[in-house]
Chain A
Amino acid sequence: MTKTYPKASRPSLDNVSVSIEKGEFVFFIGPSGSGKSTIIKMLLHEVAPNKGRVVVNGKDVTSMRSWKRPHFRRSIGCVFQDFRLLPNRTAYENVAFALEVIGKTKAVARRVVPEVLELVGLGGKEHRYPHELSGGEQQRVAVARAFVNRPLILLADEPTGNLDPDTSIEIMRLLDRINRTGTTVVMVTHDSNIVNQMRRRVVEIESGRIVRDQARGVYG
């Protein structure tokens, strides 16, 4: 697929073709502006390619109507560098919010949320506000929120970008554990350490083209 943003001199993604199997763990690496984030945006149906197709869960979402987007997004979890938590809600409420706004009852939230907070290692810290948690803990809340709806795919856009190396490793262990439950994990990162340690599939992008696709790759 190809994506050219308006006013851009060259395509953000130029004739890129990637296939990710269910249950895989894939790193997208490459310098800033190489087009990694555009891939995430396309998977989220935030931008559409100019040429080519985006297929998620066997469904062609390239020309999906925007009113179908909300339902589509429920099958995808998202984690970002800046956590994107609601500052006036506790860890529990942040995760429960994601369930309640898609129509799940409070009873479901009461059953599921403590479970998933336990899974991400935040048992006992449910009622802390984001500012009372460390960066790593906040990212765990974000992962819990992304995972609470048991999505088929977890997209992580530089999830360790704001964390120190030790904390980053912990978050990676968590993502690895989530991957083992059968969830496909797609992670965009700059962090060479992490890529080298995990030894998972690495897709390197440079100037909108795939320059490397390695099954058990390292960074650079």
Chain B
Amino acid sequence: MRVKYVLSEVLVGLWRNVTMSIAMIITMAVSLTMLGASGLMYRQVDDMKDLYFKNIQVAIFLNQEVSEPQRTELKGKLESDPLVKEVIYVDKAQAYERFKTMYQDAPDLVNAVKPDQLPESFRITLNNPEEYRNIYDQYKETDGVDEIVDQSKLLDKIFNILTSIQNIALAAAIVMAIAALLLVANTIQVAAYSKRREVAVMKLVGASNWFIQAPFVLEAVVAGLIGSLLGLVALVAAKYLLFDGSLSALQGLLSPISWGDILFIFPLMAGVGGLVSAGTAWITLRFYLRV
């Protein structure tokens, strides 16, 4: 009976102040969506880093006048270098083949370039992509080396952008969370005020503190959980409309977000939504009801 009483009080409480409840749920939902998005992004960036850095290469271009001994010496050095995992030699003919496939849409350009204009190069894969700088310092003065290009430089730019988007989402989540928190506190105060007679009688006849507080705290928790459900819906919609829709062109660049990832992030959203609301409600009640 008591459980039934508490639950019906929760529903009545949410309904009594329905505009406030909706405001509370919406802010909560937006905040939790941002939190979820930022969490997804975090996993995403990690996944992508793994994926890209595994395949990343440093290209050491040789100058046109490089001599055979220089080339052999450099090859030997690279192959014995502990930082280097793999060395692939690309000669002028292979470079031309690559060039042709890369620019097959621009036949004029391909026709204008002759195979021996393209530099030969060593494509090396590093054991740890972040040690690029060492390789650069070590080999930039070596005879026959023209230029050293690190692909991770470019990737860093992309990851910086992704990380800042993630930080913006997180900041938005926090700002919205503060708004949601204040709304929860306000809603609970209004609820406690509208039930002040009941609360006074309950305190008088000796109802236990948890029994007095439970309907209010649960009211906030239910709002938090509804908010996280709406956040889940928003994330699903975002995946469906954005990633699988208008951003699908970027699919090769961004590693895909699976439904599993979204479902995985939901407990985090629901947990944060529920706990933050419960905590706020409980603290508000301590000040407001003094129970």
Contact = CB atoms under 8 A, between A and B. Distances in A.
Interface stretch (A31-39, A100-108, A176-184): A100-108
A171 interface: no
B206 interface: yes
Contacts of A102: 205-208
Contacts of B201: 84, 86, 97-98, 101, 145
A105 B207 CA distance: 14
B253 interface: no
A149 B200 contact: no
Given A100-B1, A101-B211, A106-B1, A74 B197 contact: no
A30 B198 CA distance: 31
Interface string B42-69: 0000000000000000000000000000
A73 B5 contact: no
Contacts of B153: none
Contact of B204 (A71, A73, A87, A103): A73
24 contacts: A67-B209, A69-B206, A70-B206, A70-B207, A70-B209, A72-B206, A73-B203, A73-B204, A73-B206, A74-B206, A84-B201, A86-B201, A97-B201, A98-B201, A100-B5, A101-B202, A101-B205, A101-B207, A101-B212, A102-B208, A105-B1, A106-B1, A145-B205, A149-B205
Contacts of A91: none
Nearest to A44: B204
Contact of B208 (A70, A97, A98, A149): A70
Nearest to B202: A101
Contacts of B203: 70, 73
Interface of A: 67, 69-74, 76, 78, 84, 86-87, 97-98, 100-103, 105-106, 145, 149
A113 to B, nearest CB: 13
B197 A98 contact: no
A16 to B, nearest CB: 24
Nearest to B204: A78
Given A84-B197, A102-B208, 13 more contacts: A67-B209, A70-B203, A70-B206, A73-B206, A74-B205, A84-B201, A98-B201, A100-B2, A100-B5, A101-B202, A101-B211, A101-B212, A103-B208
Nearest to B198: A86
B205 A84 contact: no
Interface string B21-41: 000000000000000000000
B2 A103 contact: yes
Contacts of A101: 201-202, 205, 207, 211-212
A197 B1 CA distance: 45
Contacts of B206: 69-74, 76, 102
B73 to A, nearest CB: 82
Contacts of B197: 84, 86-87
Contacts of A149: 205
A102 B208 CA distance: 7
B139 to A, nearest CB: 73
Q: Which of A70, A76, A87 has the most CB of B within 10 A?
A: A70
Contacts of B208: 70-71, 102-103
Interface in B144-203: 197-198, 200-203
Nearest to A142: B201
Contacts of A105: 1
Nearest to A67: B209
Nearest to A89: B198
A84 B203 CA distance: 12
B121 to A, nearest CB: 76
Nearest to B200: A84
A76 B203 CA distance: 12
A175 B76 CA distance: 108
